[in-house]
Amino acid sequence: MTRRILIGCGISLMLVFGLATAQDVESVSSDASLAASIAAGAEDEASRDKFRSLDQDVQELKKEVLDLNRDLFLLEEELLFPANSQVAFFISMDVGEYFELDSVNLKIDGKEVSNYLYTEREVGALIRGGVHRMHMANLKTGDHELIAIFTGKGPQARDYRRGATLTFSKGIGAKYLELEITDRVVKQQPEFVIKEWE
């Protein structure tokens, strides 16, 4: 009888041990998969970080290229148009009801320096208040004659061609001239004025 009890205890102990071992194995395998998934997550994160830093590098590089381009542009402007002898000509338009701008031709001291054709979009931008730097030049100090010829459509959509002349004195320092197209309501005609910026 005692022998039977001993055998029963032995079997139950073995069962308990067996169950415990199986649970251990299960927990070990789940630990391993957890570790693997953590490792994969870390790898993903690392690759994402790497990609992010690469993207940042590219963005920085792009910015540097843009900065360099701007510096080169400014340098080129300074070299080609030294500030002291520089003269810039701007076109502006106010309302534009009596004149539809087509082109502007500039002559300095009898020599044609620029002929600019305006597209519909450019005219629209001028009417909305934009100012266009049409031409830049280097002139000696002294008196110079500017002739600007404006062509386009005048009142009643007729072909219109008008000139404006200005004799200006170029001193030391840069000079800026604005060629302004305005509407003269009383006469129902466009007006072309050349102004010197102070």
Q: Note the residues at the interface with other proteins (CB under 8 A).
A: 102-103, 116-122
CA 159 to chain centre: 37
Query: Rounded distance, CA 137 to CA 48, Å?
Result: 53
Output the smallest distance, CB 116 to other proteins, in A.
7
| DSSP per-residue string spanning 146-160 | EEEEEEEE-GGG-EE
In the 8-state DSSP scheme, what is residue 98?
S
The smaller minimum CB distance to other proteins, of residues 107 and 144, is found at 107
Task: Please say which residue, 53 or 103, places its beta carbon nearer to other proteins.
Answer: 103
Closer residue to other proteins in complex, CB, 90/116: 116
Minimum gap (Å) between residue 119 Cβ and other proteins? 5
How far is residue 156 from each of residues 71, 121, 138, measured CA to CA in Å?
Answer: 48, 21, 39
Pairing relation of β-strands 189-196 and 111-117? unpaired
* Structure-token match 């001291």, residue found: 109
Cβ closest to other proteins, residue 29 vs residue 103: 103
Q: How far is the CB of 103 from other proteins (least distance, A)?
A: 7
Minimum distance from residue 187 beta carbon to other proteins (Å): 26
